[in-house]
Structure 1
Amino acid sequence: MVSMSSDFSILSDNDDLPMGWVITELENVCTVQGGYAFKSKDYTENGIPLVRISNLVENNNVDLDSNPIFLPESYRISHSNYCLREGDILIAMSGATTGKMAVFRCSLDALLNQRVGRFIIRDKTLVDKPYLSKLIENLSSKVAQKAYGGAQPNISPSEIERLLIPLPPLNEQRRIVEKVEALMARSRKAKEALDAIPKLIEQFRQSVLAAAFRGDLTADWREQNPNIEPTSVLLERISRGLNLEIERSIDKEKYFPESWRLTKLGTCIKKIQAGKNFTCPEMPVNDNTIGLVKISAVTWGKFNPQETKTVDDPQKVDPKLFINRGDFLISRANTLELVGASVIVEEISHKIMLSDKIWRIEFAEIDKRYVNWYLKSSLGRAEIESRATGNQLSMRNISQDSFREILIPIPPISEQIKIVSFIDSQFDVLERLKHQYQSILKNFSNLDQSILSKAFRGELVEQDPNDEPASVLLERIQKERAKEKTIGKSKNKKEKAVNVEIPNLFS
């Protein structure tokens, strides 16, 4: 076994080469051709497409559909050396994506632009193109490391060619590619299944909320607790305290349990408090400053105290507008999907004021957690979105009067508490599932790299003693190259000899 010391990113001094493998410079296997510096003045509306660095996209693909650039059809002949063919392996040699590789899978021809490299195999009996493609994919990070320059890193073709690579026998290369592609196909299938999980989680969330506000979650509980205070009594008491008239007859009541009542949210609201609107620096609050809350602080389900501006005018500070722990906050303006987003403040350690786009709401004898969950349900969202106004798609508003008109099913207070408990327990399970998914996804992102690493250590497939060693093939190729160089030098000497001017000695 031979020590596997090389520039190749996955190999170390302690690794051993499998039987028949050899470590060699990439230039012994292929050359790297840089593209041509085509001039923008020659660009046309149609013709032959130009492959630039920006065309090298995700999943090792070349995208010619986004912002295409074309050159005259005549360039297909005049610049034939830079004409790409299906299956060509490309690499970015400049900019933020230096080292990014792609395979040109298009059936149409295209031209190779400067700072994009193409790998040209010297001898197909030495290296299999699909193997080289996988090899270059694994070398991408190494190429990026070797690039020089600050904001615009660069690497030359000759520097890429000097990288050391592991080279197995040709037949083993093919077996490796077959195994890698089979494993990656399984990896992609598993990834597709994983990608469906967030949507399934959200669907289950909405199913839980829908069941909660139809009364399904607490159906058994109601049977076991028949003597609780009816909602009608609760609403009568609220109305007396707030001097409001209760909505007694709404057709939608038939969709809810008999002990529930469908009423307008305004029936249960004691007070809506809005903040102030004024210009201040876009800096998060700290221990020594006073903040003004931003819409984004309430957008994503939990209060985010870092989403604030800093009040720089002491005259604008109003302690009555400071946000407190336990406050029910809601945005009155945002996109249609986010207007009416609500939170209950769990923790707050800084002095933060309400802004004009955030309301603080106090409810009368109704569990604010119940209201919070309802407004996040599909029923609640439909009520909010149907009442939001505004011509701009980027910003919708809901007025206090419209907000009070929102219809909400009200169960007895003890059942509200039970519903909140059921929702919280179900969502805790979903949150744990979400964390597990994120953990798996994080590990999954390294799976393809692990497959390639094992492949290029010779651990994916068995070695066959009948395979011709790569060293034998390489030696033959090197001898042929040396012979070509000798012939080339000899030819150059002859050409120089022919061009020598002989002075006229007889003049």
Structure 2
Amino acid sequence: MDNTLYDIPDSWKWVTLNEVSITNSGGTPDRKNPSNFKGDIPWVKSGELNYNLIIHTEEYITLEALEFSNAKIFEKGSLLIALYGNTVGRMAFLGTDAATNQAVACIKTFVINSKYVYYYLMSAKDELLNKREGSAQPNISQKVLNDFPFPLSPIEEQDRIVEKIESILSELDKSNDDLLKSKELVDKLIKKTIFNLFKAISKRLPLSEVSQIIMGQSPNSKSYNYQGIGLPLFQGKKEFTNLFPIPEKWTTSPIRIAKENDILMSVRAPVGDVNIANTECSIGRGLCAIRFNGYYKFLFYYLDSIKHEISDLGTGSTFNSISKDIVSNILVPYPPKEIQFELINDLELKIINYKKILEDIGIQMTNNVSLRAKFLKEAFEGKQSERYDSDSTVKSTLLKIREEKSKYLITQADIIKNKPKFKKEEFNLIKFLKEKYYNTSFTFSEIYNDINMSRDFIVNEFRKLEEENKLNISIDKITNTVKYTLK
């Protein structure tokens, strides 16, 4: 297997993530027992990972739920990564001790800077996602993570790289914040310009007096086609794109027809959105067509500016909708037609200038995204850091990592080794409890730590005792721990 992605400095070394860390995933308590999710232990799901610091979670589980499932507590500061679904590859740090579900892996590092791992995996996300496995819903497995190439640099250099990355990313984030504020300001200026234009017009008439209103009616579905035969069929807001709607299907048996330059208004959930028909088309019951006696763009801009007010006119318990009577009674400004042309021409010249500014802002934000990706890539190619003679060698760094990882694994192995060994066919849980915990309370964790057998086996045996009503259950209010005693 090729464990390199690109060239790195001679003082660095390509290793695998497994050589510098241990990965572990969580589990999901039994959802058939609602009480499992009424505890105070934060339980992280993959959808909550978004390059953030997780302190609060959507769901909290009990200690008993933790003990009777594969969920496990990971320490504050742990690096998490999503393994499955739409969030695959996203990461977060824990801001508190918390458990996770099976779609989230914890990466426990040794000696090295965990933020160095975080930013590296961020920079190499595309390469990581290319290694997803499975056909229906490709996922990252722990094996994929463990085998993933990792550019190990001396620990001192890692710290400098992280410091520089965070300084640059902070500047880019500030730039994006400023650009977003500018965008919001321009958006407000456009709305204010349109509002002021119509506010200055005093003459108002009901829409029915200056327009023909055609309520839509859906044709027979048997007449639908996707080959462009007949008239384009529009049924609701979802087909509205930019200034003109885009058809998803056509009909050969239209019932209600809108003409080119008619204003199309959504009259059923959502209510109030407008568009302009750029051709003759069929309209379903989710729309109405408004054939204006004046300049169609004048009416379009006005109705678009008050669409939230129109939405508030809607009624209905199942979904919001407006009737033809409501549409007919909407008051609209109506100056002479030649004035309508002049006002809209002036307005569109201003909007063009505003949109040019918005376009420039969008380009700058896109450039910031590119700069971010470029900088992260260069950082892990060794192009954004200095190397000092006083730095430890990557060889010594790797030796320290192996030493710390080995100590951790030995400790974990000793915990398992020191458990009493039983054969399943010989083991009797009730007998074991009577011998060790007679007249004494105990927790599931204590039992599990005392017996060198699989968690699933112990859980099943424990559940049998509960079903046979051989256990008393209580809550230690000080530690919020579930305690058991034999009956």
TM-score (norm 1): 0.68
Q: What is the RMSD computed on CA atoms of the aligned residues?
A: 3.9
**TM-aligned CA deviation for residue 419 of structure 1:** 0.2
Q: Which residue of 2 aligns with 1:49?
A: 41
CA shift digits 1:325-371 (9 cap, x unpaired): 33x22326134xx534433333x3xx63233443434444x323222
**TM-aligned CA deviation for residue 68 of structure 1:** 3.6
Which of 296, 299, 323 lines up with 2:237 in the alignment?
296
Which of 416, 430, 454 lines up with 2:340 in the alignment?
416
Structure 1's 281 and 177: CA in aligned 2 closer, same or farther, altered over 3 A?
A: farther
Q: Which residue of 2 aligns with 1:104?
A: 94
Q: Which residue of 2 aligns with 1:429?
A: 353
**TM-aligned CA deviation for residue 178 of structure 1:** 0.9
**TM-aligned CA deviation for residue 202 of structure 1:** 3.0
Which of 75, 82, 94 lines up with 1:92 in the alignment?
82
Asked whether the equivalents of residues 172 and 463 of structure 1 are also in contact (C-alpha less than 8 Å), the reply is yes
**TM-aligned CA deviation for residue 397 of structure 1:** 0.2
Once residues 159 and 394 of structure 1 are traced to their aligned partners in structure 2, the CA distance between those partners, rounded to angstroms, is: 47
Structure 1's 447 and 63: CA in aligned 2 closer, same or farther, altered over 3 A?
A: farther
Once residues 71 and 220 of structure 2 are traced to their aligned partners in structure 1, the CA distance between those partners, rounded to angstroms, is: 60
Once residues 405 and 81 of structure 1 are traced to their aligned partners in structure 2, the CA distance between those partners, rounded to angstroms, is: 60
CA shift digits 1:56-93 (9 cap, x unpaired): 42124447522444442884xx9999431110112234
Residue identity over aligned pairs, in percent, reads 20
Letter of the 1:88 counterpart? S
Q: Which residue of 2 aligns with 1:373?
A: 301
Once the two structures are superposed, the pairs formed by residues 62-81 of structure 1 within 5 Å of their partners are: 62=54, 64-72=56-64, 75=67
**TM-aligned CA deviation for residue 398 of structure 1:** 3.8
Once the two structures are superposed, the pairs formed by residues 88-237 of structure 1 within 5 Å of their partners are: 88-106=78-96, 109-122=97-110, 124=111, 127-215=112-200
SS of match in other structure, 1:44: helix
Asked whether the equivalents of residues 76 and 98 of structure 2 are also in contact (C-alpha less than 8 Å), the reply is no
Once residues 272 and 3 of structure 2 are traced to their aligned partners in structure 1, the CA distance between those partners, rounded to angstroms, is: 56
Q: Which residue of 1 aligns with 2:444?
A: none
Structure 1's 463 and 272: CA in aligned 2 closer, same or farther, altered over 3 A?
A: same
Once residues 300 and 71 of structure 2 are traced to their aligned partners in structure 1, the CA distance between those partners, rounded to angstroms, is: 66
Q: Which residue of 1 aligns with 2:390?
A: 466
**TM-aligned CA deviation for residue 7 of structure 1:** 3.6
SS of match in other structure, 1:72: helix
Once residues 2 and 363 of structure 2 are traced to their aligned partners in structure 1, the CA distance between those partners, rounded to angstroms, is: 33
**TM-aligned CA deviation for residue 175 of structure 1:** 1.0
Which of 312, 315, 331 lines up with 2:265 in the alignment?
331
Letter of the 1:49 counterpart? I
Structure 1's 389 and 89: CA in aligned 2 closer, same or farther, altered over 3 A?
A: closer
TM-score (norm 2): 0.71
**TM-aligned CA deviation for residue 41 of structure 1:** 6.4
Structure 1's 282 and 452: CA in aligned 2 closer, same or farther, altered over 3 A?
A: farther
SS of match in other structure, 2:169: helix
Asked whether the equivalents of residues 96 and 153 of structure 1 are also in contact (C-alpha less than 8 Å), the reply is no
Q: Which residue of 2 aligns with 1:30?
A: 21
Q: Identify which range, 471-480 or 446-455, moves more after superposition.
A: 471-480
Once residues 395 and 81 of structure 1 are traced to their aligned partners in structure 2, the CA distance between those partners, rounded to angstroms, is: 43
Asked whether the equivalents of residues 40 and 60 of structure 2 are also in contact (C-alpha less than 8 Å), the reply is no
User: What are the ranges of 5 or more consecutive residues in structure 1 without an aligned counterpart?
Assistant: 216-255, 490-507
Q: Which residue of 2 aligns with 1:391?
A: 316
Structure 1's 412 and 83: CA in aligned 2 closer, same or farther, altered over 3 A?
A: closer
Q: Which residue of 2 aligns with 1:222?
A: none
Once residues 283 and 434 of structure 1 are traced to their aligned partners in structure 2, the CA distance between those partners, rounded to angstroms, is: 39
Once residues 193 and 62 of structure 2 are traced to their aligned partners in structure 1, the CA distance between those partners, rounded to angstroms, is: 54
Asked whether the equivalents of residues 216 and 287 of structure 2 are also in contact (C-alpha less than 8 Å), the reply is yes
Structure 1's 128 and 324: CA in aligned 2 closer, same or farther, altered over 3 A?
A: same
Q: Which residue of 1 aligns with 2:482?
A: none
Structure 1's 158 and 48: CA in aligned 2 closer, same or farther, altered over 3 A?
A: farther
User: What are the ranges of 5 or more consecutive residues in structure 2 without an aligned counterpart?
Assistant: 414-487
Q: Which residue of 2 aligns with 1:496?
A: none
Letter of the 1:192 counterpart? D
Which of 50, 64, 71 lines up with 1:58 in the alignment?
50
Once residues 244 and 221 of structure 2 are traced to their aligned partners in structure 1, the CA distance between those partners, rounded to angstroms, is: 21
Bigger-Rg structure (1/2):
1
**TM-aligned CA deviation for residue 416 of structure 1:** 1.8
Once residues 209 and 102 of structure 2 are traced to their aligned partners in structure 1, the CA distance between those partners, rounded to angstroms, is: 69
Once the two structures are superposed, the pairs formed by residues 437-452 of structure 1 within 5 Å of their partners are: 437-452=361-376
Letter of the 2:259 counterpart? N
**TM-aligned CA deviation for residue 100 of structure 1:** 3.1
Letter of the 1:59 counterpart? Y
**TM-aligned CA deviation for residue 464 of structure 1:** 1.7
**TM-aligned CA deviation for residue 469 of structure 1:** 1.9
Once residues 19 and 51 of structure 2 are traced to their aligned partners in structure 1, the CA distance between those partners, rounded to angstroms, is: 27
Aligned residue pairs, count: 411
**TM-aligned CA deviation for residue 174 of structure 1:** 0.8
